[in-house]
Structure formats: C-alpha cells, structure tokens
Amino acid sequence: MATKEDIRSSRRLHRRTLTPEHLASAGESLAQHGTAWAASVSPDAGATFAVYLGVAFEPPTIPLITSLHKAGHRVLLPVCEPGRLLSWVYWTPETAFVRSPYAPIDEPEGERLESSVIAGTAGIFMPATAVDRDGNRIGQGGGYYDRLLQGLDASGGRPPTIAVVFDDDLLPSGSIPAEAFDRPVRQALTPSGVVHLHEGPEEN
C-alpha cells in the first residue's frame, strides 16, 4: 500500500495538470452539489456551515461559499493558530483575506472564534487531497482537521462532515492507510455529486 505522503504527492502532481477551465467548472459543480447537501442536512435557511478557502489547484470553494451565503446560511472559515489549532471567522462578501503564517492557505480577517463554535454548525466541508471509499481522508499534512474532529468527537458534538475532492481523488476501499488519530468521513463532495462512503464514525 502506498504511504499517505506518496498519495498526497501524487494527487498534488495530478492537480497541477488541471486547466483553469476545469477548475472553474469544478467550482460551479461543487457549489451546486454542496448547497444541495447543505439543504439535506439542514432544511431551514440560516444554518451555519464550516467551509475553507480552496487555493491554487485545490477544489475551488469560493463558488460554494458564495452559494451557501446566497441561500441564507452563515459561513465560518478557518484560521491556523499555533499548536495546530484552528480558530474561525464568519465570512461575508466583504471579507478580506491574508496569507497564513502557519500554512500555505489564505485566511479571512475578522473576529476569531474558538473551535468550540463548530459544534453548533450544521455541517463541515473539509479539505482533502484524497479520500477512499472507506472514508479515510488525506489532508494537507498539518493535522489541523484531525485534531478538530478529535475534540468534537470527545465532546459528542461533531456535526456531519463531508470531504471536498475532485472526482479522481476518490480512491478505492483500502487505498489510504488509517492511523489511530485519523477521523474518517462519511461522505465526499465531488464535481459529479455527493458520494456516500462505506465507513465513518457515527455523527450527531
């Protein structure tokens, strides 16, 4: 079995071959399917969802963020803090972004809230470089989201989670080695739609 770093490197290399047209089309499809998923987990408008800002060759999430906002939902975006912790900022169309000093991502400016705010969200859109059919996910390697989910699981307040990937990043069962600290997801959001995965922890 390939290591996580091998898979992460392979997927990143593949993503760099994607054209601007492919990225734009993927972003629009992710917005459509992601907003429908949001409606399925929280039928009422005005729910809060945790998302992230896809940068470079990651799946584009600005269309999704904008679509959720237009649907009446509130959106929280992450900020990397020391100790591999995340804080969160509410996004609006006027939100400005700055480069993180801790990770290769852009982060929103604004009032930072502790990760305990995520327990009250309707769902979490999670970054991933790959996810397999068992629900095992590979992130960017920082461990921020695994640590977030560990805390939510320990408190019993974990919302539904969905990993955002391109279609080719969805791998067969058994492709990704699972470690004790990993927290599987139950669904994947791809440009082709929402995929229900075989395994994953029970979610509230």
For the stretch 10-68, pLDDT in tens is 999 999 999 999 999 999 999 999 999 999 999 887 899 999 999 889 999 999 999 99
> Is pLDDT at 153 greater than 60 in this prediction?
yes
For the stretch 72-95, pLDDT in tens is 999 999 999 988 889 999 999 999
The fold for domain 4-196 equals Rossmann fold (3.40.50)
Q: Is 140 annotated as a binding residue?
A: yes
Q: Is 5 annotated as a binding residue?
A: yes
What average pLDDT does this structure show over 161-177? Answer: 94
> Is pLDDT at 188 greater than 80 in this prediction?
yes
Confidence band of 199 (pLDDT split at 50, 70, 90): low
- Distance from chain centroid for Cα 193: 15
* 98: Cα within 13 Å, side-chain hemisphere: 8
Q: Is 7 annotated as a binding residue?
A: yes
Q: Is 156 annotated as a binding residue?
A: no
- Distance from chain centroid for Cα 17: 22
Please report, for the chain, the start and end positions of each structural domain, with discontinuous segments joined by +.
Answer: 4-196
Q: Is 123 annotated as a binding residue?
A: no
Give the model's pLDDT for residue 56.
Answer: 85
Confidence band of 203 (pLDDT split at 50, 70, 90): very low
Q: Is 141 annotated as a binding residue?
A: yes
CB neighbourhood size of 21 (10 A): 8
